[in-house]
Amino acid sequence: MRSIFYDRFGPAANVLSLTDRPTPEPGAGEVLVDLKFSGVNPSDVKARGGTRPGVTKPPFPRITPHSDGAGTISAVGAGIDPARIGQRVWIWNGQWQRAFGTCAEQIAVPSEQAVELPDGVDMQTGASLGIPGLTACHAVFGGGDVRGKTVLVQGGAGTVGLLAVQLARWGGAHVIATARGAGAERARAAGAAEVVDFTDTDLTAKVLAASDGKPVDRIIEPEFGTNIATDIALIAQGGTIAAYGSAAQPRADFNFLELMFKAATVEAILIYLLPPDQRQAIIRRLHTALSDGALRIPVEQVFALSDTAAAHEAVEKGARHGAVLVEVGK
């Protein structure tokens, strides 16, 4: 089968190579998936580029990248019901702490990591559920139902933010988003009742005005270090700041007492590490939103397997309006 790999860190065009390697055999408790699409996420390009803290070389001699993907089960290992053969599935944690991810024509993974796609959900959407979908869903619902609450989605036009806006609206929340330009229109179309320009010097006052003068119950945060002071000013007593990134400013400087005297919670989200019960709950909720037609995952661009380096470069450029996928199978 054809597969992308890298054996050293560096620019995508320099280190990503296309190769042929044997089709993997599903072991006990595993399924073999004939992949159709592989999702490219910022975490994938950072891992390939060697930018993770304290990591100086790849953890395996050869790595096939990407954690997200979608395809069809073609074989099962011992202990797995053969009735799973032919199921359309999406993959989570495909390359997490493993050498072989989804940027290949086939992948063998533990059966629970190949989740059956709901009826009517296409493979391109499936290839975006692992990291963007689960992150957005957990960020919104990790503390329970949001019906009747006010949710602020910072970066509401981003890949995760746009999904969070849709999910929070579907969940019955009053949704406020920050975005600008064309992104503001996308956030409104996704369900944000109010959108505030995140560069506005009066952002705090305008968000409060959009919330009838009241602090917000939950904040979905992609840039914790940059926005934490604003988030503390906006969060309600007992509220939660659900942060899933801090790339622009990894170190955060804030007044702990201001946070403490609101009894607010900061939740650091790393979707790879969700406990099984929490993951299953989030998957069920995500599937329900999909089945209800409440969630649309836009796709920015689809690349051929041989152009995987260009897909990585597209993600690195940022300012995307949807998922970046690699078509890995027929």
In-domain check, residue 284? no
What integer pLDDT is reported at residue 53 of this predicted model?
77
What integer pLDDT is reported at residue 240 of this predicted model?
98
Task: Look up residue 22 and give its two tokens.
Answer: 């044997």
Strand partners, 265: 240
Distance, CA of 163 to CA of 296 (rounded, Å): 8
Q: Are residues 238 and 158 in the same domain?
A: yes
Q: Are residues 200 and 262 in the same domain?
A: yes
Q: Are residues 189 and 209 in the same domain?
A: yes
CATH number of the domain that residue 112 is part of: 3.90.180.10
Task: Look up residue 198 and give its two tokens.
Answer: 């995140």
CATH number of the domain that residue 253 is part of: 3.40.50.720
Q: Are residues 97 and 151 in the same domain?
A: no
Contact yes or no for 235/262 (Cβ under 8 A): yes
Q: What is the pLDDT of residues 81-93, one digit of tens each?
A: 999 999 999 999 9
In-domain check, residue 288? no
- What is the percent of the chain with per-residue pLDDT over 90, rounded to a whole number? 96
In-domain check, residue 99? yes
**Confidence category of residue 166, pLDDT binned at 50, 70, 90:** very high
Q: Name the pTM for this structure.
A: 0.96
Distance, CA of 108 to CA of 28 (rounded, Å): 11
In-domain check, residue 291? no
| Residue 319 in this model has a pLDDT that exceeds 90 | no
**Mean pLDDT value across the chain:** 96
Q: Are residues 9 and 63 in the same domain?
A: yes
Q: Which domain holds residue 42?
A: 2-128+297-327
In-domain check, residue 248? yes
| Cα separations in angstroms, 243 against 251, 268, 313 | 13, 5, 25
Q: What is the pLDDT of residues 183-241, one digit of tens each?
A: 999 999 999 999 999 999 999 999 999 999 999 999 999 999 999 999 999 999 999 99
Q: What is the mean pLDDT of residues 58-71?
A: 97
Q: What is the pLDDT of residues 103-124, one digit of tens each?
A: 999 999 999 999 999 999 999 9
Q: Are residues 40 and 81 in the same domain?
A: yes
**Confidence category of residue 318, pLDDT binned at 50, 70, 90:** confident
What integer pLDDT is reported at residue 54 of this predicted model?
80
Q: What is the mean pLDDT of residues 25-49?
A: 97
**Confidence category of residue 102, pLDDT binned at 50, 70, 90:** very high
Convert the chain into a string of H (helix), E (strand) and C (coil).
Answer: CEEEEECCCCCHHHHCEEEECCCCCCCCCEEEEEEEEEEECHHHHHHHHCCCCCCCCCCCCCEECCCEEEEEEEEECCCCCHHHCCCEEEECCCCCCCCECCCECEEEEEHHHEEECCCCCCHHHHCCHHHHHHHHHHHHHCCCCCCCCEEEECCCCCHHHHHHHHHHHHCCCEEEEECCCHHHHHHHHHCCCEEECCCCCCHHHHHHHHCCCCCEEEEEECEHHHHHHHHHHHEEEEEEEEECCECCCCCCCCCHHHHHCCCCEEEECCHHHCCHHHHHHHHHHHHHHHHCCCCCCCEEEEEEHHHHHHHHHHHHHCCCCCEEEEECCC
Contact yes or no for 178/221 (Cβ under 8 A): no
Q: What is the pLDDT of residues 258-296, one digit of tens each?
A: 999 999 999 999 999 999 999 999 999 999 999 999 999
